[in-house]
Amino acid sequence: MKLVFERSIQGTGSTLLPPNDVEAYDLQEPYQRKLALHFPELTEGELSRHYSELESNAFGVNRGFYPLGSCTMKYSPKLNEECAALPGFADIHPLQPAHTVQGCMEAMALAEKLLCEITGMDNLTFQPAAGAHGEFTGLQLIKKYHDSRGDSKRVELIVPDTAHGTNPASASMGAFKTVAIPSKADGLVDLDALKAVVGENTAGLMLTNPSTLGLFEKDIVEIAKTVHEAGGLLYYDGANLNPVMGVVRPGDTGFDIVHLNLHKTFSTPHGGGGPGAGPVGCKAYLSEFLPLPRIVEEQGSLRFCSDSENSIGRVKAFYGHFLVIIKALAYILTLGKEGIPYAAQNAVLNANYMMKSLEDLYTVAYPGRCMHEFVLSAESLKKRTGVSAMDVAKALMDHGMHPPTVYFPLNVHEALMVEPTETESKPTIDAAVKVYREIYDLAFTNPALLHEAPVKAAIRRPDEVRAARTLVLRHSFSS
């Protein structure tokens, strides 16, 4: 399809924008633009067609089943949007004096309190813009903590081999050295391997629990003890909090720092519908290191406090993505104390139901009970039929559903990682299971059809090598 700039017809226009109510001001040299801006010129009708076409080429939770493993693509309730659009939240400016936006401050303070209660943390910052940014922020807390004790040799972060790729990446960004530890045959953290690598250089352990294999690290208390006794801290990657929210509190199992993905666990829009939010919570003894500003209460009113000698400093302008916080708060208040664990339990139930419905055909990488997601391996299917995990994923697109995460985690060959989430009904999951089973059968009867898939999608098989090697990151205007 064409870009909006390519649809532009000079001289056409629309009257979508209200008249300018600010006095015109001529900027002087050197601030004056030399070239006119490239604004597309379209009639309202053409513009509407452009966005409708974009929408028809995109796939989201609103369109169909979206079991993208470790991404928790749950439905984003419309009520969240309605709350965030309330004028008191929407029509404010981040530079407004705190006493004029006490309601907004109170909403953020309440969201902090509730997320602390869910995670077992004492304080939390909303500054980080998304999950990986939260990781970076959390690791800065670890660094600052060790530095504050004059313990400068702690440069190693331990990361299991099932970790999200962002973990070692964040470690590198934070100037740590990643020490990877292999999982045991059952997919869980190998305590002996952990004990062999902890020591005076250990800054901490980054752990996702449940892991990306959809398994709960049942030795978590022993793991925490091992890391703490070596002088390290425990970092909780909140990507997979969904199946334990309101059931297990990371803080109670020994974690010192937590990041959350509000756009995963707490139902705020995800992907192109973002922005995300990656709040970071910590235990009280680390709170002095949190980024500034922080919300504090003083004589009955709330204000932003920007003075703390030991803070790691700012990690983002203002205080994060405010309206995303409001949407997450609306979700938490809607579900309440009973609804939060109930949602978690249903996420686990849905995943187990779907896994059980497929385990006689596809190989379940780690059989037994799973948490919010499960990993299938198409390795034996590929050996027998030539049909790979990628072929299965592409074929699913022709059936109006999003493929699961593929080729991750790395320790499972031909991995298909499926996370249905709690917001899918039994009929939806049954329909998906039927399609997964049909594709499996087709691999034996007509594999060529699967190598060709997708045939109905807007984009069929993109040239991934070219996409990775020849990056086109900006549009070049012809004039």
Partner 1 sequence: MTTPTNYSYTKTHEWIQFLDEETATSGITDFAQKALSDIVFINMPSEGDEVTCGESFADIESVKAVADINSPVSGTILETNETVEEDPSVINEDPYGSWIVKIGHIRAKDDLMNAEEYDRFCEEEEQ
DSSP 67-127: -BTTS------HHHHHHHTSHHHHS--TTS-GGG-HHHHHHHHHHHHHHHHHHT-SEEE--
Segment near partner 1 (CB under 8 A); pick from 19-27, 249-257, 286-294, 405-413: 405-413
Closer residue to partner 1 in complex, CB, 307/464:
464
Segment near partner 1 (CB under 8 A); pick from 59-67, 123-131, 232-240, 464-472: 464-472
Closer residue to partner 1 in complex, CB, 101/415:
415
User: Considering the complex, what minimum distance in angstroms separates the CB of residue 180 from partner 1?
Assistant: 9
DSSP 8-state secondary structure symbol assigned to residue 237: E
Contact 391, 381 (CB under 8 A): no
User: Considering the complex, what minimum distance in angstroms separates the CB of residue 468 from partner 1?
Assistant: 4
Report the alpha-carbon distance of residue 96 to residue 65 in Å, rounded.
42
CB count within 10 Å of CB 349 equals: 15
Closer residue to partner 1 in complex, CB, 157/257:
157
Segment near partner 1 (CB under 8 A); pick from 267-275, 283-291, 350-358, 461-469: 461-469
Closer residue to partner 1 in complex, CB, 366/408:
408
Question: What tokens appear for 391 in the block?
Answer: 């072929």
Verify binding: residue 410, partner 1, rule CB under 8 A: yes
* Residue 357: closest CA among 423, 431, 424: 431
Verify binding: residue 464, partner 1, rule CB under 8 A: yes
Question: Of residues 33, 93, 469, 474, which one binds partner 1 by CB under 8 A?
Answer: 469
Segment near partner 1 (CB under 8 A); pick from 249-257, 336-344, 392-400, 406-414: 406-414
In the region spanning residues 360 to 399, those forming contacts with partner 1, defined by CB under 8 A, are: 383
Question: Of residues 465, 473, 478, 479, which one binds partner 1 by CB under 8 A?
Answer: 465
Closer residue to partner 1 in complex, CB, 22/465:
465
Question: What tokens appear for 276 in the block?
Answer: 């995300």
Give the N- to C-terminal CA distance of the chain in Å, as an integer: 21
Verify binding: residue 407, partner 1, rule CB under 8 A: yes
Verify binding: residue 93, partner 1, rule CB under 8 A: no
Residues 6+ apart with CB under 8 A from 371: 210, 214, 215, 216, 240, 243, 244, 347, 348, 351
Segment near partner 1 (CB under 8 A); pick from 21-29, 263-271, 408-416, 447-455: 408-416
Question: What tokens appear for 157 in the block?
Answer: 């972060």
Verify binding: residue 5, partner 1, rule CB under 8 A: no
Q: How many residues bind partner 1 (CB under 8 A)?
A: 10
User: Considering the complex, what minimum distance in angstroms separates the CB of residue 383 from partner 1?
Assistant: 8
Report the alpha-carbon distance of residue 3 to residue 126 in Å, rounded.
35
Contact 367, 359 (CB under 8 A): yes
Contact 167, 197 (CB under 8 A): no
In the region spanning residues 165 to 184, those forming contacts with partner 1, defined by CB under 8 A, are: 165
For partner 1, the binding residues (CB under 8 A) are 165, 383, 407-408, 410, 413, 464-465, 468-469
